Structure 1
Amino acid sequence: MGLLGSLAMLLSFLSILWSPALGAVSHAVSTDRARSLDALLQDYAYRAFDRPRTGISYNGKVPSNLTGITISAMRLRSGSLRNRGVNSYKEFEIPTGVVVRPYVERLVLVYQNLGNWSADYYPVPGYMYLAPVVGLLGYDASNLSATNLVELNVTTSGQPISVRFSVVRSVPVGSTARCVRFDLQGTTIFSNVTSGNVCSTNEQGHFGIVAESTAPSPAPVLQPPPASLLPPAQSPSSNGGLSNNDKMWWKIVGSVGGSILVLSLLLILVLGIRKYKRRKAMEEMEERSEYGEALQIANIGPVRAPMARGTRTPPETEIQNVD
């Protein structure tokens, strides 16, 4: 394989790594863990029901190895959810017009708050959580003893569901708070946070507020140390160094010396050009002399130059014939 072929393969590989769809692939492992957690929390949330009443929230208990996660369950009629919504269920405000597919007569909305487990189950590279991940998932309520249930498809047909976070950490300087949503396929979707730390969604899933963890921090303001902490000043003779005055003097000497050197080179160049022109003129005059009368060379001042001879061709005497 040639060099061009190798480079093409390398570029193709890099384009795959940097493609936008990589986010879903990078979450594949954590998605499996998250889906297993959903199934476990559904089981423990259903255990909270004891003669449940419709529309009442029941808090469940999680295993001891998941301390920090809170769960809750609420049983509703599908028709009532569609026509009335739910005013307040933990952080969620569910409007009217919610559609449940496949249709069931009753459903259970299981609430999750992952607390300090948020980044473990839903990591977002390059971001830090300002609010813990909360989830809302719908399940069939026909059998409250069932486990490993498949989630229903809960979506809105009108206004979105609001997720109002009550406890949100301060946004780091230079960063911006973003809503993040994780659907059941593990896709990560970002959106803007609206006033009051509210995120919006049209379907069930898991939600949080994040900020870039790699935001540049402001440059620190350096304060000069106290005079008592500064090392004692050392003279040039003690450490072999030069004082500021000596350094300034050498800079001046260097500048002057450099200027003189440049001027000298320019002068040499000018004199060389003049000498070259004179030599060229002499050569031209000598070449001309080869085709005419030989010229004598004489000194004219400091210059030797060819001169014509001092004699002239005498005129011929005109002889007239006398008859």
Structure 2
Amino acid sequence: MNVDTVRFRCGSLHRYGAQVKEFHLGSGVIVQSYAERVMVVRQNLGYNWSSIYYANYDLSGYQLVSPILGLLVYNADSDLSFGSPFELGILAIDKPIKIDFSNVTKASNITGLLPLCASFEGNGKLTLKNQVSSNVCVASRHGQFGLVVKSPQSLAVRKKMQWKLVVGCSCSVGAALGAFLLGLLLVAMFVKVKKKARMEELARRAYKEEAL
């Protein structure tokens, strides 16, 4: 799993948009809660972590041909070393958010199959849409996204059996999966903050020693 974080002022993000790895946010995006600054988080779950979506969403008849990419937004008004961030929403009204899978998908190795854009919502709902161009999808809000293609019949049957095992708990899938991903994010952010604090401390010590 790979996590990238970028901080923005909400006003600047709204006026100019931003590019965060595979995600292009056009101008006009709205943060759905008051905050002066936000932290935009891009997740790449890789193919190993992405496999958990087979057991928690109805992917019967389809198979992933890209890792799951996530776009999340958190408040960044306070120092992360003193408190945990809380998740905000982001909405693209005028210009949709573009997600370019070109550098992460293995769809080019599968001939004769046209990938579809998959959006994994927090309530356990899966939405499939056509691409707007080769390996490029669009979205109107934050979330988790991937590319899928129709799978062979034998694989489709197996995925359907997996879905039957978890159909009774679909209402809690989104919350549990969200909590799991947030936990991974907080661990990554904690390590990053600690590393930054250590580097600053070493720099201060070096400065003092040089002054002496």
User: Shift of residue 174 of structure 1?
Assistant: 5.3
Does structure 2 conserve the Cα–Cα contact (< 8 Å) formed by 1:73 and 1:108? yes
For residues 95 and 215 of structure 1, the distance between their equivalents in structure 2, rounded to whole angstroms, comes to 39
- 2:192 aligns to what? none
- In the alignment, what sits opposite 2:26? 95
Q: Deviations over 1:100-144 (max 9, x none)?
A: 111100010111000021121455232111111100100011232
Q: Percent identity?
A: 38
Structure ID, larger Rg: 1
Post-superposition Cα deviations, 1:149-197, rounded to whole Å, max 9, x if no partner, equal 4321100120100000123223645543110011233321110123231
> 2:76 — aligned with what?
141
Task: Name which of 93, 109, 116 aligns with 2:40.
Answer: 109
Of the three residues 63, 72, 93, the one matched with 1:157 is: 93
Q: TM-score, normalization: structure 1?
A: 0.43
Which residue of structure 2 lines up, in the alignment, with residue 73 of structure 1?
A: 5
Amino acid at match of 2:76: A
Which residue matches 2:136? 198
Cα RMSD, aligned residues only: 1.9
Answer yes or no: is the 8 Å Cα contact 1:173–1:215 preserved in 2.
Answer: no
Are 1:212 and 2:150 counterparts? yes
What TM-score does the superposition give when structure 2 sets the normalisation length? 0.63
Misfit runs of 4+, over 2 Å: 121-126, 170-176, 183-186
Match of 2:63 among 121, 128, 137: 128
Name the CA distance, whole Å, in 1 between partners of 2:22 and 2:8: 17
SS at match of 1:189: strand
Distance 1:202 1:180 in 2: 13
Distance in 2 (CA, whole Å) between partners of 1:152 and 1:104 is: 9
The secondary structure found in structure 2 opposite 1:132 is: coil
Change (3 A) 1:195 1:152: same
SS at 1:159 equivalent: coil
| Structure 1 spans left out of the alignment, 5+ residues | 1-68, 217-323
Secondary structure in 1 aligned to 2:87? coil
State the distance in 2 between where 1:137 and 1:206 align: 8
Structure 2 Cα separation of the partners of residues 142 and 129 of structure 1: 36
| Partner-residue secondary structure (3-state), 2:63 | strand
Residue 104 (structure 2) aligned to one of 154, 159, 167? 167
Per-residue displacement from partner, 1:35-55 (whole Å, max 9, x unpaired)? Answer: xxxxxxxxxxxxxxxxxxxxx
Greater relative contact order (Cα < 8 A, sep 6+): 2
> How many residue pairs end up in the alignment?
146
